[in-house]
Structure 1
């Protein structure tokens, strides 16, 4: 074995794009059969795809874009086609006059129906229900069928689209965040089955850690990432921080953990402790060392792949960008090659084998099945003469460390060194001679082009990492790279991916014939409760659930719909109704009626709330095993400050069943 010490002067592009010259060493050892290369690690951050800041920066870190998509922008009615989804995707995957493919940006879409419970304006509507669907009708069998059909269409449009990285489930509740209302257990099962069937190639992300989602291997989009009031041991045990720490510690191994950093919370809530956590703005997070360390600590602890809102940092500010680079290094995957072995010579038509040792020093795995490829580069032009994926290497298995130690700023279980072996066949027509052997990670769906960069200094623009000279047909004169100026892998704006022309050619289809569903209008003298609108279950127990069914023993047009709450009620669980557009009852005299049944001997308490504050003396409603009708009169004496809630509070520290049907409300004083 002969040892050759090769000193190579290379120019490193720092985060500020300034160029400095440094001299580094690379050990190249070989004999007549094999060459071993131990490259130096690239210490800076890398603007790699599928990780980091969820917001594109032309002069900084960020190659991801999250897009809210109103349901009625991709489906006008039940008869609409998948082409409308594809055409809308073509519209939103552009930045300025360039496509996402040209800029190497990936999309994370979220389809939703209701922004925040309000109507919005003609210019900016906040309700996105297709014209042939009843607004807020999450409970009907018709809605479940439409939900299932739309998910199938989304899979047809997006599962093989190279522009899409992952799918945020959305669809239910405000902002598609699975609250107001939360999906019922039957809806969660429906969506699990539908998304698993529709998406074979894309990670699916959900807002909450419901067992149905976690057992399936779905990832998380978390909307208050790193907020101190949500952190263990005092934070809500139903939220990601506790769940990921104590209940589902391995969810990050299957799909990404992502979300947003809620800076409004930092500014407006006393318990946020901005000075003790991560500040009040993204730029503060980047520039104050203690804030930056706090955020990196949470990224490492929860194995976060990428985050939004924090991505609104000022990339034009060199100080901010330097701090952003430290955060970028912590996000997601970061592959460091400790050594690579290749044969000094190979032959046309024969197999070419490589061995490599890799560590993932980042926080998360790489979640897509992208191949490692080998290339033979022209020694003069440094362009590929031939390249091919290597069989036998799965980058998804290169896991990072585990069990984060905040005091030591390190994982207690350090990143394992992964020894990978790959093989491919050389073409018979390959011209004998000397080439530069290089490797890269290819975008499988985006045209099999180089994309992911390893965190090593051996890099040339275009996505390839050169290691040494290889001979085709004969042993090379020297395997060492000499007088090769490496490029920085930090930012390579030459990297792009390809989108199939047939996708880009899709135009919006003709508008289908639609029979509009008229918006329900309240009449104080007749009915104020929309019979199709959901009642929301506020859960204070892990085992309580809401069910929706039909009861054929009841009479009347709306009597068949039954809302049921079953399980352990805990302390403070309630079933409540809110009026559309954050509606409020005017002062006056009202009559509420309903039919109820449930666990014999238990009572539920009905009251009216201004937001969460009760404004009337609660009325106990006894339950029995048979349906009984109840009527309650109440007065509203003062104008509401917040939205009105009609509320059934469930028995404290009890288990049982509560069933509600035919709720009605009208005003009785003639106004």
Structure 2
């Protein structure tokens, strides 16, 4: 049982309420299915957009598809202006714009993005950093591939990652940070320049990859991290993965697909503690949800199986926002977006008086494929007949521990400290982004008493 500490003001209020009684009023549904003292809560539809999950667009204003996050890239030289100098305005401007729309951000930094100007900071070029021009992926010499094992570059990345973590770890504007930095698009590969017969290997050595992994793991304790490829070298790190060829080269088979690598690395169950994400393969975005599905060419093309095996929480799918889906394709895409990540529902509640406090227990199920990715504060509040909240309690409940298919029972003892009369208990997981999308439970009584809160039932204090 979780006990919420009470301070001196709360104890004084309790002393004046020695005669208080708490009575749970009859529920509209039979209690027998939940067990003695329990009241069932009616199920409802999951929200079309819940925080930190679903399909997301490149950063911008869109009303064509429900969403709670936005995606962007930034070149390293946009913020790293010297060996020990940083100008964070470019990053803050993006984060502020996205937060202003009530959304959290997912992003990565890059040094080399085919088709865009190089992201390598000028000071590294002045120090003699080797770079390689190329024409692959329509680059036509615009960007260059740096020598990732150059000691000056390695030291600069150490300093950048440490500074990024000091400033932004736990920032409520941020949902996920992808490690980036290495390889084309920051995707941790330089294919076709990867050492295959007849090619040079331009990618970072294993030692440099591990150095970047360790630097990010050291710099971030609260904000969730993701790296492109599962591997034995990152299995023990506190990070998840992003499959950027989702539903194309996801399912196991040839030995190099995403789930092949997950199995080889022994990370197939890591989704229980570290969320996975990625990008729906761009060639599939406009056709995968058609009926019948009419995507040409090769690839898995099995969205449902890819979600089930990866336990993905969110995917970049810009087509959903521009040009957008219509008709049956929209319905299928929305169903696909809602199948990602968590789907939380409170199935039953029990209240009772014990001494001077309220004993509260809730049963929560997760009908999704992954746990909620953060331990946002889970709060209980008492609202009066006017819908105004009279008191709020913050529990120590952890939604990250509510696993798919493993219902949880959470309990707390709450000091009353309420005025006499009827009150309605409500529940929420508080989004730390002040105007962020509220987490909505898949219950019929979500938002019925107070917007953003789930109604649990009534109590009477006399």
Give the match for residue 67 of structure 1. Answer: 72
Corresponding residue to 1:252 among 271, 281, 288:
271
Q: Is the 8 A contact 1:300 1:330 kept in 2?
A: no
The Cα shift of 1:448 comes to: 10
Q: Is the 8 A contact 1:28 1:37 kept in 2?
A: yes
Give the match for residue 286 of structure 1. Answer: 289
Give the match for residue 337 of structure 1. Answer: 346
Q: 1:214 to 1:54 in 2, by over 3 A?
A: farther
Corresponding residue to 2:424 among 408, 411, 436:
436
For residues 166-213 of structure 1, the C-alpha deviation after alignment (integer angstroms, 9 at most, x for no partner) is: 110001111001112433221122123211221010111111112221
The Cα shift of 1:304 comes to: 0.7
Mapped to 2, the partners of 1:300 and 1:45 lie a distance apart of 20
The Cα shift of 1:289 comes to: 6.2
Give the match for residue 371 of structure 1. Answer: 377
The 5-angstrom pairing of residues 150-169 of structure 1 reads 150-169=160-179
Q: Is the 8 A contact 1:45 1:326 kept in 2?
A: no
The Cα shift of 1:80 comes to: 1.3
For residues 277-303 of structure 1, the C-alpha deviation after alignment (integer angstroms, 9 at most, x for no partner) is: xxx443x33342668993122112210
> Quick check: 1:130 aligned with 2:117?
no
> Quick check: 1:179 aligned with 2:189?
yes
Give the match for residue 305 of structure 1. Answer: 313
Mapped to 1, the partners of 2:40 and 2:329 lie a distance apart of 33
3-state SS of 2:459 partner: strand
Q: Is the 8 A contact 1:217 1:251 kept in 2?
A: no
Q: 1:311 to 1:363 in 2, by over 3 A?
A: farther
Taking structure 1 as the reference length, what is the TM-score of the superposition? Answer: 0.55
Mapped to 1, the partners of 2:389 and 2:24 lie a distance apart of 29
> Quick check: 1:231 aligned with 2:243?
no
For residues 610-635 of structure 1, the C-alpha deviation after alignment (integer angstroms, 9 at most, x for no partner) is: xxxxxxxxxxxxxxxxxxxxxxxxxx
Which runs of 5 or more structure 2 residues have no equivalent in the other structure? 1-22, 126-130, 132-145, 191-201, 296-300
3-state SS of 2:77 partner: helix
For residues 551-591 of structure 1, the C-alpha deviation after alignment (integer angstroms, 9 at most, x for no partner) is: xxxxxxxxxxxxxxxxxxxxxxxxxxxxxxxxxxxxxxxxx
Q: Is the 8 A contact 2:64 2:320 kept in 1?
A: no
Give the match for residue 114 of structure 1. Answer: 112
Aligned length: 396
Corresponding residue to 1:397 among 382, 398, 401:
401
Mapped to 1, the partners of 2:203 and 2:239 lie a distance apart of 17
The 5-angstrom pairing of residues 45-56 of structure 1 reads 45-55=47-57
3-state SS of 2:124 partner: coil
Q: 1:150 to 1:468 in 2, by over 3 A?
A: same
The Cα shift of 1:365 comes to: 1.2
Mapped to 2, the partners of 1:397 and 1:41 lie a distance apart of 21
Q: Is the 8 A contact 1:61 1:328 kept in 2?
A: no
Larger radius of gyration: 1
Mapped to 2, the partners of 1:191 and 1:307 lie a distance apart of 24
Q: Is the 8 A contact 1:256 1:304 kept in 2?
A: yes
The Cα shift of 1:59 comes to: 4.7
Q: Is the 8 A contact 2:112 2:185 kept in 1?
A: yes
Taking structure 2 as the reference length, what is the TM-score of the superposition? Answer: 0.78
Q: 1:377 to 1:100 in 2, by over 3 A?
A: farther
Mapped to 2, the partners of 1:398 and 1:377 lie a distance apart of 26
The Cα shift of 1:341 comes to: 1.2
Give the match for residue 22 of structure 1. Answer: none
Mapped to 1, the partners of 2:47 and 2:303 lie a distance apart of 16
Give the match for residue 420 of structure 1. Answer: 410
3-state SS of 2:175 partner: coil
3-state SS of 1:328 partner: helix
Q: Is the 8 A contact 1:366 1:395 kept in 2?
A: yes
Give structure 1 regions of 4+ aligned residues with deviation exceeding 4 angstroms. 1-5, 289-293, 313-316, 447-450
Mapped to 1, the partners of 2:149 and 2:379 lie a distance apart of 49
The Cα shift of 1:139 comes to: 1.6
Give the match for residue 137 of structure 2. Answer: none
Larger strand proportion of the pair: 1
- For the aligned residue pairs, the C-alpha RMSD in angstroms reads 2.9
Q: Is the 8 A contact 1:45 1:328 kept in 2?
A: no
The 5-angstrom pairing of residues 92-111 of structure 1 reads 92-93=94-95, 99-111=97-109
Mapped to 2, the partners of 1:360 and 1:193 lie a distance apart of 32
3-state SS of 1:212 partner: coil
Give the match for residue 89 of structure 1. Answer: 91
Mapped to 1, the partners of 2:422 and 2:26 lie a distance apart of 19
Mapped to 2, the partners of 1:188 and 1:263 lie a distance apart of 27
Q: Is the 8 A contact 1:243 1:249 kept in 2?
A: no
Give the match for residue 154 of structure 2. Answer: 144
Which runs of 5 or more structure 1 residues have no equivalent in the other structure? 7-25, 265-279, 401-414, 475-671
Give the match for residue 80 of structure 1. Answer: 85
Mapped to 1, the partners of 2:74 and 2:206 lie a distance apart of 25
Mapped to 2, the partners of 1:2 and 1:463 lie a distance apart of 22
3-state SS of 2:82 partner: coil
Q: Which gives a bigger RCO, structure 1 or 2 (Cα 8 Å, sep 6+)? A: 2
Corresponding residue to 1:241 among 230, 249, 259:
259
